[in-house]
Amino acid sequence: MANRLSAVPGVRVAVVEAGPPDKDKFVHIPAAFSKLFRGPLDWNYLTEPQKELDGRQIYWPRGKVFGGSSSMNAMMWVRGFAADYDEWAQHAGPEWSWAKLVGYYDRIERGPLHVSDQRSPRSATAAWLAAAGECGFTVDSTDDETPDGFRQTRVTQRRGARWSAADAYLKPAMRNPNLKVFAESVVTRVLFDGRRAVGVEFDSGGKREVVEARREVVLCGGAVNTPQLLMLSGIGDRDRLAEFGIDTVAHSPGVGQNLLDHLVVPVGFEVERDSLQTAEKPLELIAYLLRRRGMLTSNVGEAYGFVRSEPGLDLPDLELIFAPAPFFDEGIGEPHQSHAIVMGPILVKPKSTGTVTLASADPLIKPLVDPGYLTDPDGADRRALMAGLRMTAQIAEAPSMRGLLGAILRPSGATDLSDETLERALNTCSHTLYHPVGTCRMGTDADSVVDPQLRVRGVDGLRIADASVMPTIIRGHTHAPSVLIGEKASDLIKSAST
C-alpha cells in the first residue's frame, strides 16, 4: 500500500507501524525465524483454551516489525486454487474471481517480490517426496489453477535471504519524499468527524500522537489487530461496545466474527543425519555468510502436497507438510539435541470458525482470540485431520522413508502409528499454521464488514486491506493472497481518486 500509493503524484502517505525497522539478523536468515517467536518483534498472542485440543491455549505469533508477519513467517509462497478465489467472488462479486485476480500474481512475482526455488533443500525432503510418489500421490505439481499433488516449496527469498514485504515494497518507497513512516507507534483508535474517518491516534513511546488523513484511512493490521482497532474505534456490535464504555460509530456485528485458521498436526521422528538440527554449526554459518547456501537458507517447511480426506471431494481439503527439522513446540525453548524431522496434515478448508473480541477498552491490552478449532457440530474437521494423519503414517512407512526414520518423538512416548497415537498427536501437538483470516470479511451482503471495494460499511473514508477481509480461507498459505489484497486495494483507492 505504501509503495503503490506514494507513487501517485500529489498524494501524501503516512505509514504508522507498531514495530521497529527490521534490523534484527534473525529476520533475514531464513531458518532462524522461530528465534523471533515471543521476542520484541512478536505480538505474542495466546488463544483462549481450546476444548477440543485438551484445553490448551495455542500460541499465535504475529509480526510486530517492518514487513509484519512476512518478516517472521516460513516464506512459503503458495497461491492456492483458482476455486478459492472464485469462492471469494461468490461473496464479493466478480472482480474478486480468479480470472480477475491472477494478473496480480503475475505482477507480484515478476516484480517487487522475489519468489524462488530453495537453494539447499535437505536430502530427507527428496526422500519424503519420493515416498509420497510411492504411495500413489502426484509429485512435482505446479502453481497452476489446480495445484494438486506434492512439490518442494517455493519461497520469498532473494539470493538465499528472506525477502519480505518490507524489502519488496516499503524500503524502496521510503525514498519517496511524499511518504512518512512512524515506527514503534501503536495505533489506538481511528478518529472520526461524524461518520467520516479523518485520521488515527497512536501511542509513540507513551506519548499520544495524531496523524490526519485528507483522503482515506486504510487499516492493514491483520486478522487480530484490525478488528480490535475497529471495535476500539466504535465499529462493532453496539451491545458489546457498550459493555466497554465505547460509543458506537457504526453498528457492525460481524466485526471479529468468522475467524478462520489452518490447524496443523506435526508428527516427529528421529533421523540419523542431515536435518536442520545442525544449522547453527560453524560450517553452515560460513556457507550462509559467504555463499548464501546451506541449511540456514531453509524455510523449514521444505515440501508440501495437497490431498483429499475423502475420495469423492472435488478439491483437496488437506495439505501435508514436511520439515527436515526438529520443529517441536514451534521451535521455542531449548533446542532439540539430536537429528529429527516433522511431517503432518494441515486442515486447509476448516468448517469451524472463531472470534476476536475485546478484553478491554485499553488498546494496549491484547484482545481475546478464540479460533474454535474442531468445534464444527458434526466433527468433520476432526475426521479430516485424522484422515490426513493416516496418510502421514502411510508416507512414513513407504520404502523411501522406512530406512530413514527412527523412533517416534512426537507425540511423546508413542511406539507405533496407530489411530490412538494419531489421535493423541491431534489433541496434544497440534498448533496454528499462522494463517488467521476472515474477521472483517468482505461481501455484497449488508452483514459483511467491508464492501467489495474494501470500504468499511457504515462509515466513510475507511478501508481495510489485509487478511481479515478474506470471506473464506484459501487452500494454501495466506502470505500470497495478502500481498495480492494489498495490490488490489491500491488499485481500488487510486481509481476512486481519479
- Mean pLDDT for the chain? 96
Is residue 471 predicted with pLDDT exceeding 90?
yes
- How much is the average pLDDT of 266-280? 95
C-alpha cell recorded at residue 457: 460499511
pLDDT tens-place string over residues 97-110: 999 999 999 999 99
What are the C-alpha distances in Å from 378 to residues 229, 244, 264, 365, 426?
A: 34, 35, 20, 35, 17
CA angle 219, 348, 236 (to 5 degrees): 30
Q: What is the pLDDT of residue 498?
A: 62
Query: Which residue type, as a one-letter code, is found at position 51?
Result: K
- How much is the average pLDDT of 133-157? 90
Please, which residues have CB within 8 angstroms of residue 10's CB and are 6 or more apart in sequence? none
Under the phi-then-psi rule, with left for phi > 0, alpha for psi from -120 to 50, and beta for the rest, what region is 423? alpha
C-alpha cell recorded at residue 201: 491516534
Distance CA 388, CA 322 (A): 13
- Contact predicate 1/170, CB 8 Å: no
Per-residue pLDDT band at 497 (split at 50, 70, 90): confident
Under the phi-then-psi rule, with left for phi > 0, alpha for psi from -120 to 50, and beta for the rest, what region is 94? alpha
For residue 264, how many other CB atoms are within 10 A of its CB? Answer: 23
The single residue of 28, 339, 435, 479 carrying the catalytic annotation is 435
Per-residue pLDDT band at 331 (split at 50, 70, 90): confident
Please say if 477 is a catalytic residue. Answer: yes
Query: Which residue type, as a one-letter code, is found at position 487?
Result: E
Please say if 28 is a catalytic residue. Answer: no
- The mean-pLDDT minimum among 154-168, 266-280, 332-346, 405-419 falls in 332-346
- How much is the average pLDDT of 272-299? 96
Distance CA 110, CA 120 (A): 22
Please, which residues have CB within 8 angstroms of residue 481's CB and are 6 or more apart in sequence? 79, 80, 85, 467, 470, 474
pLDDT tens-place string over residues 209-226: 999 999 999 999 999 999
Query: Which residue type, as a one-letter code, is found at position 253?
Result: P
Q: What is the pLDDT of residue 394?
A: 98
Fold classified for 119-152+263-349+374-429 = Cholesterol Oxidase; domain 2 (3.30.410)
Phi, psi of 468 (to 5 degrees): -65, -20
Residues that constitute the known binding site? 65, 187
Greatest Cα-to-Cα distance within the chain, rounded to the nearest angstrom: 69
Q: Residues of CATH 3.50.50.60 domain(s) within the chain?
A: 1-39+59-116+159-257+435-498
Is residue 333 predicted with pLDDT exceeding 80?
no
Q: Which ranges of 292-431 would DSSP assign to H, the alpha helix? A: 380-396, 399-402, 419-429
CATH architecture of 1-39+59-116+159-257+435-498: 3-Layer(bba) Sandwich (3.50)
pTM: 0.96
Distance CA 238, CA 462 (A): 19
The single residue of 114, 336, 339, 477 carrying the catalytic annotation is 477
- How much is the average pLDDT of 14-24? 98
CA 254 from centre of chain: 21
Residues that constitute the known binding site for FAD? 65, 187
Q: What is the pLDDT of residue 336?
A: 87
Q: Residues of CATH 3.30.410.40 domain(s) within the chain?
A: 119-152+263-349+374-429
